[in-house]
Structure 1
Amino acid sequence: MFPPIQHSVLERFLRYVQIDTQSNPFSPTFPSTEKQKDLARVLVQELLALGVADAHMDEYGYVYATVPATVTHPVPTICFCSHLDTSSDSSGTDVKPIIHYNYKGQDLVLPDDPSIIIRLQDHPNLGEQMGNDIITASGLTLLGADNKAGIAEIMDATQYLMQHPEVPHGTLKILFTPDEEIGRGVNHVDLQKLGAHFGYTVDGERRGSFEDETFSADAVTLIIDGVSTHPGFAKGKMESAVKIASEIVARLPKDRLAPEAVDGRAGFIHPATIEGLTEKAAIHFIVRDFTDEGLVTHETFLKNVVEEVMQNYPHSRYEMRLHQQYRNMKKVLDQYPQVTTNALEAIRRAGIEPIHSSIRGGTDGARLSYMGLPCPNIFAGEHAFHSKQEWVSVQDMQKAVEVIVHLAMIWAE
């Protein structure tokens, strides 16, 4: 019915991943790293070149842009959103993307570190990729498909829609955010300026997946004040904050409430980082569950563990600081069923059977939903994110582009 998409998604993706955009969870600035703006500037220039006249980056590093409507009847304004930053869990400097053409199920040995091997038995979703082209990094870094695949897909869809005004759609908004990986992705977003009614993050995994439920998430920082003295004269006096912190972590269950031990709808307590000296130490936990009640239960359990350990250190003190990160977006999205219905239909029109599921994580969409922009998550094709084994297939990215285009059209019907 309409011209086929002449995809630019691969070329865009290969360029974007070579721009280092790692965020920094310990930085007090916003964005947490200035280098995220390097990609933002590139995207603004590319959008302007496509004819998206209002594309711009604001002082915080957000990219805003508008694809004008091609229909005259009222249509809700829809936003497509992806994030600029990559995870701090693995290096994002000097990414060397490699295309493994016509995948046949073989082990993918990454040349810059042959000990990094992507095996079908460890990545069962590779079983859906026979004959497809798989992109990986070279073994020294993550790839950055999370979430530059989503950015490339939104940009490719934008190019198609700008070049084909005969395709019917309402006003579309583009939003690229910094610092999503460290939980600050929407701290300074201007929803009034964005002006969207509903949104979709393009930041999911398996081809066809659609997620309208996330974890609820809190961050818990435990500060331990120990007793420091000269180690040569410490008998009966020293209470090492480092040892107290270690004992608390050691008391956490290994067969439950641990991310490496649970899946499905089970939540967890995860000690993400530990820092400290004899006198003072800090443990930074992330706590996750699909219900707010589950979060409270996990946090109460953690507090009880801390208090039991602290009884053995009568001269030391602790403080627990709790910070709400995001909440399960399903509570909001259930009030707007058409947001889900339209996305599932768009996936079907792209020739894919939808996989409607919950995500064991969070997206900018979780917080945006509670800020007034209902915003579930569509697949981008990214896999094994936050690691050197990260991969994405070219064909999955192309399908994600098709879904975005179909979704824009469906809202206008």
Structure 2
Amino acid sequence: MNLTNRIKLSGMMFLEFFIWGSWFVTLGTFLGSNLNATGAQSASVFSTQSWGAIIAPFIIGLIADRYFNAEKILGVLHLIGAVLMYQMYSATDISVFYPYVLSYMILFMPTLALVNSVSFNQMKDPEKEFSVIRVFGTLGWIAAGLLISFIFHWDTEAGTKDGLLKNTFLMAGIASLVLGLYSFTLPKTPPKGASGGKVKISEILGFDALKLLKDKNFAIFFVSSILICIPLAFYYQNAHPFLSNVGMDNPTGKMTIGQISEVLFLLLLPVFFSRFGFKKTILVGMLAWAVRYALFAYGNANELSFMLIIGIALHGICYDFFFVSGQIYTNSKAGDQYKSAAQGLITLATYGVGMLIGFEVAGMITDTYKAADGAFDWKMIWIIPSGIAAVVFLLFAVFFNDKDKINEPSV
């Protein structure tokens, strides 16, 4: 890949995740402070990510992969996204806000696959080249958090009270407009299946890979993947409101420690994977979720603030050791025939079904432990997902057997 394309693709990845990080991290706090949303209403808004993940394969499989260049549909989706972001910025009521965020996530989630398609199309050796491009996405997410906390100060106690968090949607909208226009300058990525045969919905959604569930170990992994997404949803929905509520300074900026950790542990994953195997690696990931939430439950923003920081920093282990190693395991079990279908099925199960259940549970628990004066019993709100993660850890430890040798990841 030439230098010009490398720079273009790096810029695309930076903007893609800058947009997401600009508003999604602070969304829970915004909903509570600006729109007075209940836990159930916040759960409905966060669930739009899951609906987007469920609908995304249809947009990619039925439209992008067959009729239009990936970079062009990426541009169109982000231009429409910019308009929707402005509507979210202007909304003053949850009933007005919800249809816009639902529409936005249905359009945004497919772009995560599209930026990968545009990137892979230019690469001769994706295993070596992709990580260098993808890391700019993580840098974009980090940059958004640092801007919100340390440059604009929208997430301070005073800024939150003054309703400044709505500006995150304006920032995301401007970035979306820029990426929308920028996308039309990206390397051409023509549709792969324009001359193909009949479209199979089961193939698009990954249902062809359901045959893999006949393997007892894969079935246990599959169910565990759905269950572990229940505690995961608590982090997305409640972490920022929690850190803001307990008085942590610059919570958005400090949450970028999680993304920095993600990069570091991604580099360590192949070493851990090859030395300890899949089962131990994924168990460490599950245990990290339980430990992280216990730290949140018993830490505070004063003398025990280090517990909250460690909890944030565990994100790399939580995400990489479970989700990335899970993708590697799925790839090795599927074989050439079902590789794409299997990854689609796992994505649908986790970000679709698992997170959908998780956001619903997180909203219900948050409402249950909210007092009449508006105060939250954060200890209980975090102990419950910690307990769920611990139960999933035990079930997986007892019932999963990784006798089969699987392919090790390469860096």
Same fold (TM over 0.5): no
What TM-score does the superposition give when structure 2 sets the normalisation length?
0.28
What TM-score does the superposition give when structure 1 sets the normalisation length?
0.28
- Higher radius of gyration, 1 or 2: 1
Q: Which has the higher contact order (CA 8 A, sep 6+)?
A: 2
